[in-house]
């Protein structure tokens, strides 16, 4: 049950937070880990997101009136969502980290539709960092300051970091540094004979003919024409 919006007393808040202590201090009450940010009423404790309202609540001087309408049971448990995350300007084909975020919605698509932010903690007190997030293949959403700002759909091509082109497999195996991302339509992590390699993740421009070396690996491949891999192998 929500706290009253008038004649609110310190003990009311203490009991709602299950502190149950008549001698509790304002500091201990307002910084209590028991506060459910979802339960703070934006009419009395302004903030665009629950995290923003919690920050408002905990700012000094402490104002008891910010607890008016507080509902400790609001929101319930947040959903845990396993996501890939990237801080790069273009997440398509780029390296990403896997993490768990928390949200009122069960999926990112639902979160975007409902304007629900995601959090880095299960309590919903810390907004997830700015960046791209994805919980389904090829679909990414951009979060900024707790607000969904953009989304993009990537192609199904596989990204590979490689150096080249040069004139032979021997030269390719000697390459180091100056690698760039290429994208191929194969089913393996690296391109093999018969796959097509592109210079863009949309698959609109074929890679130049020549020999390439996969970065941080001993694999090489040759592109003959139209981005098609004619052969591949391993460096000695």
β-strands 197-198, 139-144: how paired?
unpaired
What are the b/e assignments for 212-229, b being 16+ CB within 10 Å?
bbbbeeebbbbbeeebbb
User: HSE-up of 223 (CA within 13 Å, CB side)?
Assistant: 26
Predicted pLDDT at 228? 97
Q: Is 18 a residue whose pLDDT tops 80? A: no
**C-alpha dihedral (84, 88, 90, 94), degrees to nearest 10:** -60
- Tell me what the pLDDT averaged over the chain comes to: 89
Return the pLDDT at 175. 92
Give the tens place of pLDDT for each residue, 149-207. 999 988 778 889 999 999 999 999 999 878 999 999 998 999 999 999 999 877 889 99
Residue 77 to residue 155: CA distance in whole angstroms:
34
Q: Report the percentage of the chain scoring pLDDT > 70.
A: 96
Identify the helix (H) or strand (E) that includes residue 111: helix 108-114
**Conformational region of residue 145, where left means phi above 0, alpha means psi within -120 to 50, and beta covers everything else:** left
pLDDT band of residue 231 (cuts 50, 70, 90) is: very high
pLDDT tens for residues 22-58?
A: 667 888 889 888 888 889 999 999 998 888 899 999 9
């Amino acid at each position: 049950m929500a706290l009253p919006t008038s004649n609110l007393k310190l003990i009311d808040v203490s009991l709602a937070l299950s502190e149950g202590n008549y001698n509790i201090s304002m500091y201990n009450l307002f910084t209590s880990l028991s506060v459910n940010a979802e339960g703070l009423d934006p009419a009395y404790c302004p903030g665009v997101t629950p995290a923003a309202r919690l920050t408002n609540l905990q700012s000094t001087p402490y104002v008891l009136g910010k607890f008016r309408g507080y509902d400790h049971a609001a929101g319930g448990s947040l959903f845990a969502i396993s996501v890939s995350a990237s801080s790069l300007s273009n997440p398509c084909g780029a390296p990403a980290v896997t993490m768990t975020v928390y949200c009122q919605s069960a999926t990112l698509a639902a979160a975007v539709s409902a304007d629900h932010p995601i959090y880095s903690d299960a309590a919903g007190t810390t907004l997830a960092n700015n960046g791209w997030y994805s919980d389904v293949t090829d679909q990414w959403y951009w979060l900024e300051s707790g607000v969904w700002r953009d989304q993009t759909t990537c192609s199904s091509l596989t990204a590979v970091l490689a150096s080249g082109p040069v004139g032979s497999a021997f030269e390719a195996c000697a390459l180091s540094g100056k690698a760039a991302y290429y994208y191929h339509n194969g089913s393996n992590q690296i391109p093999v004979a018969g796959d097509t390699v592109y210079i863009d993740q949309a698959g609109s421009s074929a890679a130049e003919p020549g020999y390439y070396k996969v970065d941080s690996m001993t694999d090489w491949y040759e592109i003959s024409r139209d981005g098609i891999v004619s052969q591949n192998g391993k460096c000695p």
